[in-house]
Structure 1
Amino acid sequence: MELTRRSALLAFATTAALGLSACATSTTGTSSSSASASSATAAFPVTVKHIYGETVIDAAPAKIATVSWVNADVVLALGVVPAGMAKDAWGQNAYNSTDWKDAKLKELGAEIGSDNAPVQYDEADGINFDEIAKLQPDLIVAAYSGLTQEEYTKLSKIAKVIGPVAAAYTAPWQDSTLAIGQALGKESEAKALIETVEKQLTDAGEANPVLKESTYIAGNLEPATGGINIYTSGDNRSRFLSSLGMTESPIVEANKEADAFYFNWSAERADELAADVFFTWLPEGTTVDDVKNDSLLGQIPAAKTGGLVAESSQALTLAVSASSPLSLPWALDQVVPNIVKGAEAAKAAK
Structure 2
Amino acid sequence: MPRVSRLAALPTAALLIVGIAACSSSPSDSGQEGGGSDDWAAITIEHALGTTTIESKPERVATVNWANHEVPLALGVVPVGMAAANFGDDNDDGILPWVEEKLDELAPDEQPVLFDETDGIDFEAVADTQPDVILAAYSGLTQEDYDTLSEIAPVVAYPETAWGTPWREMIELNSQAIGMADEGTELIADLEQQIDESVAEYPQIKDKATMFLTHVDTTDLSEVSFYTTHDTRTLFFEDIGLKTPESIATASAETDRFALTRSAEQADAFNDVDIIVTYGGDELVSVLNDDPLLSQMPAVENGSVVNLPGDSPLGTAANPTPLSIAWILEDYLSLLASAADEAQ
Report the TM-score when normalising by structure 1: 0.83
User: Which AA in structure 2 matches 1:89?
Assistant: N
Percent same amino acid among aligned pairs?
33
Long gaps (5+) in structure 1? 1-23
2:250 pairs with one of 249, 254, 264: 254
User: Which AA in structure 2 matches 1:234?
Assistant: H
Partner of 1:224: 219
Distance 2:341 2:195 in 1: 19
Considering only aligned residues, what root-mean-square deviation do their CA atoms show, in Å? 2.2
Q: Give per-residue Cα distances to partners, 1:98-144, cap 9 Å, x unaligned.
A: 0111111111114xxxx522222422100101111111212111111
User: Which AA in structure 1 matches 2:187?
Assistant: L
Please report how far the alpha carbon of residue 254 of structure 1 lies from its aligned counterpart in structure 2 after TM superposition: 1.1
Partner of 1:102: 100
Q: Matched residue of 1:69: which SS?
A: coil
Distance 1:86 1:25 in 2: 24
CA contact 1:218–1:231 (8 Å) conserved in 2 = yes
Distance 1:344 1:84 in 2: 44
Distance 2:141 2:147 in 1: 10
1:237 pairs with one of 219, 233, 257: 233
CA contact 1:142–1:163 (8 Å) conserved in 2 = yes
Compared CA separation, residues 297 and 182, structure 1 to 2 (3 A)? same
Distance 1:93 1:46 in 2: 38
Partner of 1:61: 58
Q: Give per-residue Cα distances to partners, 1:267-309, cap 9 Å, x unaligned.
A: 1222321211111112x67342222122232222101112121
Q: Give per-residue Cα distances to partners, 1:199-240, cap 9 Å, x unaligned.
A: 222222222221224111122233222142111222121122
Partner of 1:182: 176
Partner of 2:155: 161
User: Which AA in structure 2 matches 1:72?
Assistant: H
Compared CA separation, residues 69 and 62, structure 1 to 2 (3 A)? same
Q: Give per-residue Cα distances to partners, 1:239-274, cap 9 Å, x unaligned.
A: 222111111100011112332222112112223212
Distance 1:99 1:312 in 2: 15
Distance 1:139 1:117 in 2: 18
Distance 1:52 1:84 in 2: 22
CA contact 1:223–1:297 (8 Å) conserved in 2 = no
Partner of 1:309: 306
Partner of 1:193: 187
Q: Matched residue of 1:265: which SS?
A: strand
Compared CA separation, residues 334 and 90, structure 1 to 2 (3 A)? same
Partner of 1:272: 269
CA contact 2:80–2:112 (8 Å) conserved in 1 = yes
Distance 2:29 2:197 in 1: 33
Please report how far the alpha carbon of residue 147 of structure 1 lies from its aligned counterpart in structure 2 after TM superposition: 0.5
Partner of 1:339: 336
User: Which AA in structure 2 matches 1:197?
Assistant: L
Partner of 2:18: none
Please report how far the alpha carbon of residue 51 of structure 1 lies from its aligned counterpart in structure 2 after TM superposition: 0.6
CA contact 2:289–2:295 (8 Å) conserved in 1 = yes
Q: Matched residue of 2:69: which SS?
A: helix
Compared CA separation, residues 90 and 344, structure 1 to 2 (3 A)? same
Distance 1:269 1:139 in 2: 48
Count of paired positions: 312
Partner of 1:49: 46
Stretches of 4+ aligned residues off by more than 4 angstroms = 24-27
Distance 1:239 1:258 in 2: 16
Report the TM-score when normalising by structure 2: 0.84
Structure 1 residue 171 corresponds to structure 2 residue 202? no
Distance 1:129 1:25 in 2: 23
Higher gyration radius (CA): 2
Distance 2:186 2:133 in 1: 23
